[in-house]
Amino acid sequence: MNHIEKREIMIDHYNNPRNKGLITNDEYKIVNMNNESCIDEVNVQLKIIDDIIEDVRFDGEACAICISSASIMTDTLKGKNINEVLSILDNYNKMIEGKDYDIKVLETAIIYDDINKQPNRKKCALLPWWGAKKIIKELNNK
């Protein structure tokens, strides 16, 4: 995928974010994430039933990188089991940090594979994914 294709996907997800808007329902766990180095503030919601991510939602005010990566995250994580999601989150983190990662598990999220060249934007791309990880961690600690 070249730079222009990556940018087009990002703009599409920014202009037409998938799974945006929160759901008021006890089955959804929610977390609020802030990035002080940008304008980003997002809420991430996960509905997990029997080890499966049944639904992923998000909402918030954020920059194009953060909104688009949240939208792509919802598409990527939905329908996966917890172990698959933890692997995706781990590999996504590695990719953003410029480390070796498993490209096969990341699907559309690979469009951010060169963001490590813009260190001040890394947190924009990571914030929603950290939110999903935080919810899963909190559930596992119960």
Binding residues for Zn ion (CB under 5 A): 38, 40, 63, 66, 124
Least Cβ distance, residue 9 to Zn ion (angstroms): 17
Shortest reach from residue 16's CB to Zn ion, in Å: 19
Query: Shortest approach of Zn ion to residue 105 CB, angstroms?
Result: 24
Q: What's the burial of 80, exposed, middle or buried (CB within 10 Å: 0-12/13-18/19+)?
A: middle
We find the least distance from the C-beta atom of residue 140 to Zn ion, in angstroms, to be: 28
Residue 61 bridge partners (DSSP): 41
| Closest residue by Cα to residue 35 from 16, 60, 12, 58 | 60
Compute the distance between CA of residue 108 and CA of residue 63 in angstroms, rounded to an integer. Answer: 19
Q: Which is nearer to Zn ion, 115 or 124 (CB)?
A: 124
Please say which residue, 33 or 110, places its beta carbon nearer to Zn ion: 33
DSSP 30: E
For Zn ion, the closer CB: 63 or 82? 63
Measured distance CA(13)–CA(10) in Å, rounded: 5
